[in-house]
Amino acid sequence: GQNIDQPTEMTATEGAIVQINCTYQTSGFNGLFWYQQHAGEAPTFLSYNVLDGLEEKGRFSSFLSRSKGYSYLLLKELQMKDSASYLCAVMDSNYQLIWGAGTKLIIKP
Amino acid sequence: GAVVSQHPSRVICKSGTSVKIECRSLDFQATTMFWYRQFPKKSLMLMATSNEGSKATYEQGVEKDKFLINHASLTLSTLTVTSAHPEDSSFYICSAATGGDSYEQYFGPGTRLTVT
């Protein structure tokens, strides 16, 4: 079956760095997405990785290893507004999105 | 738990025809369902929010007469794209929420619509 695993909840301190991991097993692979979702709002796109390696975009970076079925989202210089759910999603060979359950990130002062 | 399905997963239709997409919550009752449209490598764009038994609330810029939404039961919402045009080709994703104090949304796998 197809499966996306990510931690349910993480806690970090303002100003610190946090890494949210995502492992996947899917039938085929056409890219991996990370989304940020604040409570009551629609998810917002953070990153898209289809090739191995690290993609850096400001305070956020996303890494992909296709051979390991693994990705992580790295958030630096954490701010209180980064408290949100972070969703990992993989597009499979049929171009269907397989969603992770999301990681709730709590930032403490 | 908390599985949401969509049907069909992909559909190709001719310009001018209508297409219906179903969104079902399989193991929970969804008081609220959301319909999104995803543009390539972009954020999901919320199209409308539907509550069971009442009219959907459409986001600004979304034509309610073109994108008909029906939330007839606590487990089923449908999106009908009427008089489809090639520019309506997109990836449509629904999500379902149990409502109450929970804002958690469970997303469906999406439906890829291609209008020729």
DSSP at B84: -
Per-residue confidence (pLDDT) for residue A42, from 0 to 100: 64
Pairing between strand B10-13 and B111-115? parallel
Question: Does the beta-carbon distance from B109 to A45 stay under 8 Å?
Answer: no
pLDDT tier, A103 (very low <50, low <70, confident <90, very high otherwise): very high
Q: Is the pLDDT of residue B97 over 70?
A: yes
Out of A85, A94, A97, the one facing B93 most closely (by C-beta) is A97
> What is the interface size between A and B, counted as CB pairs within 8 Å?
42
Residue-wise burial string across B31-62, b where 16 or more C-beta atoms lie within 10 A, e elsewhere: bbbbbbbbeeeebbbbbbbbbbeeebebeeeb
The residue that leads in pLDDT, B41 or A7, is A7
Q: Using H for helix, E for strand and C for coil, what is the string for chain A?
A: CCEEECCCEEEEECCCCEEEEEEEECCCCCCEEEEEECCCCCCEEEEEECCCEEEEECCEEEEEECCCCEEEEEECCCCHHHCEEEEEEEECCCCCEEECCCEEEEEEC
The residue that leads in pLDDT, B112 or A43, is B112
Q: Is the pLDDT of residue A44 over 90?
A: no
Min distance B73 CA to chain A CA atoms (Å) = 22
Classify the phi-psi angles of A96: left when phi > 0, otherwise alpha if psi is within -120 to 50, otherwise beta: beta
Residue A44 contacts B, CB cutoff 8 Å: yes
3-state secondary structure of B87: helix
> Do B80 and B68 meet the contact criterion of CB atoms below 8 Å apart?
yes
Residue A51 contacts B, CB cutoff 8 Å: no
Per-residue confidence (pLDDT) for residue A97, from 0 to 100: 78
Per-residue confidence (pLDDT) for residue B99, from 0 to 100: 66
**Amino acid letter at B63?**
E
Per-residue confidence (pLDDT) for residue B52, from 0 to 100: 83
Per-residue confidence (pLDDT) for residue A56, from 0 to 100: 93
Q: Is the pLDDT of residue A71 over 80?
A: yes
Min distance B45 CA to chain A CA atoms (Å) = 8
> Do B94 and B33 meet the contact criterion of CB atoms below 8 Å apart?
yes
Q: Is the pLDDT of residue B70 over 80?
A: yes
Task: Find the residue in B nearest to A91 (Cα).
Answer: B109
Pairing between strand A60-65 and B57-58? unpaired
